[in-house]
Amino acid sequence: MLLSLHPYLSFNGNCEAAFNFYSSVFGGEFDELHRYSKLQDEDIPESEKDKIMHISLQIAEHIWLMGADVLERFETPTIFGDNVCLSICTASEAETIRVYNALSEGGTTEEPLEKTGWADLYACFTDKFGICWAVSFNKKRK
C-alpha cells in the first residue's frame, strides 16, 4: 500500500526562495531542509554548498511539496516544464521493490534502488512514457 504521493520540484539555485514563498502561501514549517554542504564524500564546489539538496513542506494532511536545486556539475540545468518528479512513499520494502520494478521497466534509471542517507530504500527513474518517478521507503514513516 502506498503511504503518499508528493510532487518533487527541481530548481536552478532558487529552491530556498521558492519554498519560502510556498510556505508563506500554504503556511507551515519545513519538515526537512538539507544543503549540499552536508555531503562529506562529495567534492561540492564552494559556490554550490549552500544550495538545497532536499527540502519538504507539508501543505495538507497527506501532501508534501518537495524540492531541490540541481547542481551544475552533476546534471544539466533544470528545464522548466520538465522540473516535476512524482515521489512515492511506500509502506514496506516489498512494495517499494514491486513499484520500482513495475514502473521502471522499459524506462531509464538515474539512481538505482538502494539504501541512501535519507531513505532505507530509494530510486529515481523515468518511466517508458517519459515521466519522472522517485520511490522510497523509510522504516520511521510507517
Q: What is the DSSP string of 7-20?
A: EEEEESS-HHHHHH
* 100 and 92 Cβ atoms separated by less than 8 Å: no
pLDDT digits (tens, 9 = 90+) for 93-140: 998 998 899 889 899 999 999 998 888 999 999 888 677 889 999 887
Q: Which amino acid is at 140?
A: K
Q: What are the sequence ranges of the domains in the chain?
A: 2-141
Please answer whether residues 71 and 10 qualify as being in contact, where contact means their C-beta atoms are separated by less than 8 angstroms: no
Q: Which fold has domain 2-141?
A: 2,3-Dihydroxybiphenyl 1,2-Dioxygenase; domain 1 (3.10.180)
Predicted TM-score (pTM) of the model is 0.67
Model confidence pLDDT, tens digit, residues 31-68: 889 998 888 766 788 888 899 999 999 987 778 889 99
